[in-house]
Amino acid sequence: MTVGGIMGSGLFLAIGQAIRLAGPAIVVSLLIGVTIMALEVSALAEMAAADRERGSFLAFAHHALGPGAAFVGGWIFWFSSILNISAEATAGAIFTRLWFPSVPVFVFSVGYALIVVGINFLTVRGFSTVESWMSGTKITATVLFILVAIGALAKILPVHTQAGIQGWYHAPSFFPHGAAGVFGAMVLVLFSMSGTGVLGLAAPNVKDAEHTIGKSIRNTIITIYVLYVGAALALTSLLVWSSVPTAQSPFTAALRTLPWGWLVNVFNLVILLAVLSAMNAGLFATDRVLATLGRIHSAPHIVSREPRGIPRMANLVTGILFVVVSGLAYFLPKTAYLYLVTATGFQALFVWGLIIVTQIVYRKILLKEGKELKFRLKGYPYSSIFGVLLIVGVVATAPLAPHEMIALEISVGASLIFFLAYLPVRAKRLHRAQEK
């Protein structure tokens, strides 16, 4: 489920823009991204496996770094999640336009957002079953796509393309845009790898944590890297890397080089359902993050209420902003998705950085409290510090990709707003403490 949860529009749509930036060297960007993801999820799993009572990264940050870190981190996570699912809604709209090209993107993106918000007011029964089924479908479809590309390159399948494996190493080069291209693609790559929290938060319920969690993380990392690199190489063998489309799924564009039009429609339907599934799962989690903020007195208490297990008020508040942001395509029909993806990527980097910094401090607290570290991030503290440095490096290279600067400014601005919002909350808490 973790592998399937990671595979969303980041792979099926944003990968096209990443390839245009890095060229065949996208495999290097993917390797860096997988390394950061591995360190982040391992840090989260270590804390979750050792401290079942607290259970979430917000609680860990609150205990290790103080209520301010939990407040700011929680709100950034919530805002980032809204950007994420809005990007998925926009991607779903872009996929749908394969069949309805004359309908504006915002009509479908807002429509999908309204549908998913409505679904989240209903019962959650069967949710995990649907997500498991969709995860398997996405993985299977990606593997089949890679096999089709191999068959085409081996001349087993008929294909009409001017690309081929020579595009991986012929002029201009494997690094057509140099290091700037590799690092310019990083935010898009990291967006495509978000969704690892499921693996980390499942840690408290795992038996033989040291062996099982380590094996699960290792298998997840290897699977993601193999699938992503395989898909990227397949795309750049069926399409010339410099012409990989960014306004539609590069997967469907690549399948058009084959003489079977029905295959394009089938794959497009699969990735559309996958994106809608990811959107539904994302809103499900985002609602509950807002409800958690309400319970720890970092949001109005009303959003914490969950009649029959459904945080209706949290869903209403999140849903309204979700629909509004999904309507961004009305004003920016050609660039809305890219801005949402890059803004989400920067916000996710902040959260990942917070998780790793928390783990650096939290391990000492756990050991002091006598907690058993059932799973350990190897190489501590150097591996954790290395993860933080990689994240800082990715943010620092944002100017290498001009389109990312607006998204970075949005992310920094949002983080500053949440920090300033905490100041009156902090003052109120200090006042209450003094009265006691």
Please state, as a whole number, how many other Cβ atoms lie within 10 Å of the Cβ of residue 404: 27
Percent share of the chain, pLDDT over 90: 22
Q: What is the pLDDT of residues 32-48, one digit of tens each?
A: 999 998 899 889 888 88
Q: In the structure, what pLDDT confidence band is assigned to residue 278 with cuts at 50, 70 and 90?
A: confident
Which of 45-54, 117-126, 251-260 bottoms out in mean pLDDT, i.e. has the lowest? Answer: 117-126
Could you read off the pLDDT of 232-263 as tens digits, one per residue?
888 888 888 888 888 889 999 888 888 888 88
Confidence of residue 201 (pLDDT cuts 50, 70, 90): low
Helices 57-65/261-295 angle, 10° precision: 40
pLDDT at 131: 61
What pLDDT shows up at residue 236? 84
The domain limits of the chain are 2-435
Interval 331-383: pLDDT, tens:
888 888 888 888 888 888 888 999 999 999 999 998 888 887 888 888 999 99
- For residues 167 and 397, the model is more confident at 397
What is the per-residue pLDDT for 269? 92
- How far, CA to CA in Å, does 364 sit from each of 90, 152, 325? 43, 54, 41
Residue 128: predicted pLDDT: 55
Backbone phi, then psi, for 247, in 5-degree steps?
-95, 0
Average pLDDT over residues 375-394: 92
CB-side exposure of 422: number of CA atoms within 13 Å? 17
Asked if the model's pLDDT at residue 171 lies above 60, the reply is: no
Q: What is the pLDDT of residues 280-331, one digit of tens each?
A: 878 887 888 888 888 877 888 888 887 777 788 888 999 999 999 999 888 8
Angle between helices 57-65 and 26-50 (to 10 degrees): 70
DSSP, collapsed to helix, strand or coil, labels residue 8 as: coil
Q: What is the DSSP string of 306-324?
A: -GGG--HHHHHHHHHHHHH
Instruction: Specify the pLDDT at position 322.
Output: 92
Q: What is the mean pLDDT of the chain?
A: 83
Tokens of 403: 């389109």
329-348 per-residue burial string, b: 16 or more CB within 10 A, e: under 16:
beeebeebbbbbbbbbbbbb
Any idea what DSSP says for residue 14? I
- Cβ count within 10 A of residue 78: 23
The number of angstroms, rounded, from the C-alpha of 121 to the middle of its chain's C-alpha atoms is 24
**What CATH code would you report for 2-435?**
1.20.1740.10
Q: Which two tokens stand for residue 361?
A: 């401090």
pLDDT of residue 53: 62
Res. 409 pLDDT band, cuts 50 70 90: confident
